[in-house]
Amino acid sequence: MKQTFCKLLIACVLASCWPLKSEAAVGLIINSRATRVIGLVVLEDKSADLKFKELSLSQARLVGISEADLEIYHREIDELNIIKEVIESQTSHDSSEEEVKSLWNQFQSSLSPETMKVASQVAVYIFQHNITFKK
Amino acid sequence: MRLIQIIIILFFSFAAFASPKVALLVSLDNPKHRPLFKTKKWKLSSELIEYFQKKMEKAPYELVIFDQADQETLHKELMNPDNIALFWISHAGSFKNKESGLGMEDVISDFYGKNLKDIFQLIHPNLRYLSVLGCKAEPILNTIKTAGFYEHNNELHIYAKTKNIFPKTEIRRSIDDFKKKFSTFSDINQSCPTHKGYPLHITRTIPLTVDPLGQETAVKILNRGRLLGLFPKAKPGETQSRTVYLTAESNYRAQDLKIVVDSGELSKDNPQLIGSFEISSPALNGNWKAFQDGDGNILGVTHNVYRFSGRPEIFQEATSFSSFDCN
């Protein structure tokens, strides 16, 4: 019992001192049954992707989108996400605003003006309201 | 004649007592930072598999285990009529912000960096227990369930969590839960549910000359977020054919007649050998064309869209089909 307690204590001290990076999501816990230190990994995915999504009518009103525009946006949402993906694949974090803008201009003819309008309204709304995407 | 009778009786006796299969699919890479007291040879998935086998010792089921499982294997095992339970272990993540028109997509990712949450839409009615051991997997499966994808899986028990999880702890809890529920499972029903739908004959071709960096990939066939089928991995020069079905509806709008072919790849930096698709739909009067740029290049890195051009009117009766194999 005493030995088990000592092991637990040593493990706790090690766990609190070890410089673990939070992003690694590696934690240390004690397996109570075996009373030995084991490493456990949190199965959290960090590779999720931001996508344009459908809006309800009330949400659209909140953002200032008309019903007619919303319908066209919904019709082309898959294509809009494809263009967003293509632009992302051709740019990086270091790309300038002009580069990104020019790519959007290049591809916008593939979409209807209404879809582009709604997409920019959504983006502006998110920016203005400082909306973040939390798990 | 008597010998044949004996053989038939023996066959059915074996069939009746054949132990049900329990599939474990693990699709995890090793964490970037190795936990303390683990050697360089330590492999997370092997440790979890070993633990699972130990916990399932002496159980009256046949264990089928897959390490580094991909979307093809998952689809095959979810649709396998012999499986009574399936345990899936991988990374996952669910997001709350879905109301602003721009949002993060829920993810159940595999070892290869593919999002395979849509694969969980199609589950054989014989499966009685599904355990998805990944962080916050429960809301993802709830969304699939709420959308009506499990209408033929009334007896399916789902084990998933709304929070971040530690795999070993959850394996133990889930196995305990499965063992408790096992006695309540009803007999397997051999009749397959059928639907009415319109056939789409799809041919996928991977050209001989492809991007040398392109990765061979399986491809999901989706219509309005609904999984219609899956093409397995294909090599350059290979051609594959499938018939899938659009669900029968009286009024199709133009935006409904769209097919998304999706590799599920999560990174935009990994080009995928998706290939080109020819789609024919005998019940619809029109053609399917890929979403392209002005130069005729198919747009999309990880997925492509094929749009129906024509009048979205149905001029053939819906045919009966089943998504499942019940032989």
Check: CB of residue A14 under 8 Å from CB of residue A38.
Answer: no
Compute the distance between CA of residue B120 and CA of residue B220 in angstroms, rounded to an integer.
12
Compute the distance between CA of residue B46 and CA of residue B214 in angstroms, rounded to an integer.
29
- Range of lowest pLDDT (A115-129, B228-242, B255-269): A115-129
Residue B169 C-alpha, separation from nearest chain A C-alpha, in angstroms: 9
The string of pLDDT tens digits covering residues B99-128 is 667 788 899 999 999 999 999 999 999 999
Nearest to B102 among A26, A43, A126 (CB): A126
The Cα diameter of chain A in Å comes to: 74
Residues of chain B with pLDDT > 90, as a percent, come to 61
Nearest to B293 among A39, A53, A110 (CB): A110
pLDDT at A127: 73
Tell me what the mean pLDDT of segment A26-46 comes to.
36
Q: What is the pTM of this model?
A: 0.83
pLDDT at B80: 94
Cα four-point dihedral sign B90, B47, B127, B81: positive
The pLDDT of residue B313 is above 80: no
Give the mutation candidate from A18, A45, A114, A132 for the B interface (greatest B CB count, under 10 A).
A45
Which phi and psi angles does B159 have, rounded to 5°? -115, 115
Give the mutation candidate from A12, A43, A83 for the B interface (greatest B CB count, under 10 A).
A43
Q: Which residues of A touch B260 (CB under 8 A)?
A: 78
Inter-chain touch B168–A123, beta carbons under 8 Å: no
pLDDT at B253: 75
Compute the distance between CA of residue B76 and CA of residue A58 in angstroms, rounded to an integer.
41
Scanning every residue of chain A, which has its alpha carbon at the shortest distance from the alpha carbon of B253?
Answer: A75
Helix (H, G, I), strand (E, B) or coil at B242: strand
**pLDDT confidence tier of residue A36, bands split at 50, 70 and 90:** very low
pLDDT at B12: 44
The pLDDT of residue B321 is above 70: yes
Distance of CA B207 to the CA centre of its chain: 26
The string of pLDDT tens digits covering residues B16-64 is 435 689 999 999 988 877 777 788 888 999 999 999 999 998 888 899 9
pLDDT at B160: 96
Compute the distance between CA of residue A74 and CA of residue B76 in angstroms, rounded to an integer.
32
The pLDDT of residue A38 is above 50: no
What's chain A's average pLDDT? 68
Residue B312 C-alpha, separation from nearest chain A C-alpha, in angstroms: 14
pLDDT top residue among B85 and A34: B85
Residue A1 C-alpha, separation from nearest chain B C-alpha, in angstroms: 22
Inter-chain touch A82–B303, beta carbons under 8 Å: yes
Nearest to A48 among B95, B258, B260 (CB): B95
Q: Which residues of A touch B107 (CB under 8 A)?
A: 45, 47-49
Give the mutation candidate from B45, B97, B295 for the A interface (greatest A CB count, under 10 A).
B97
Which phi and psi angles does A57 have, rounded to 5°? -60, -40
pLDDT at B326: 76
pLDDT at B39: 84
The pLDDT of residue B179 is above 60: yes
What's chain B's average pLDDT? 88
Scanning every residue of chain A, which has its alpha carbon at the shortest distance from the alpha carbon of B93?
Answer: A45
Residue B1 C-alpha, separation from nearest chain A C-alpha, in angstroms: 59
Inter-chain touch A44–B304, beta carbons under 8 Å: no
**pLDDT confidence tier of residue B221, bands split at 50, 70 and 90:** very high
Q: Which residues of A touch B31 (CB under 8 A)?
A: 24-26, 41
Q: Which residues of A touch B102 (CB under 8 A)?
A: 50-53, 122-123, 126
Scanning every residue of chain A, which has its alpha carbon at the shortest distance from the alpha carbon of B132?
Answer: A43
Check: CB of residue A7 under 8 Å from CB of residue A36.
Answer: yes
pLDDT at A134: 55
Inter-chain touch B100–A18, beta carbons under 8 Å: no
DSSP secondary structure letters along B65-112: EEES--HHHHHHHHT-TTEEEEEEE-EEE--S--SSSEEEPPEEE-TT
Q: Which residues of A touch B293 (CB under 8 A)?
A: 107, 110
| CA angle (B172 as vertex; B170, B174 as ends), nearest 5 | 65
Query: Is A12 an interface residue toward B (CB < 8 Å)?
Result: no
Nearest to A47 among B28, B89, B266 (CB): B266
The string of pLDDT tens digits covering residues B132-161 is 999 999 999 999 999 999 998 988 999 999
Q: For residue B83, list its beta bridge partners.
A: B21
Cα four-point dihedral sign B145, B149, B151, B153: negative
Q: Which residues of B touch A47 (CB under 8 A)?
A: 107, 109, 113, 266-267
Inter-chain touch A118–B33, beta carbons under 8 Å: no
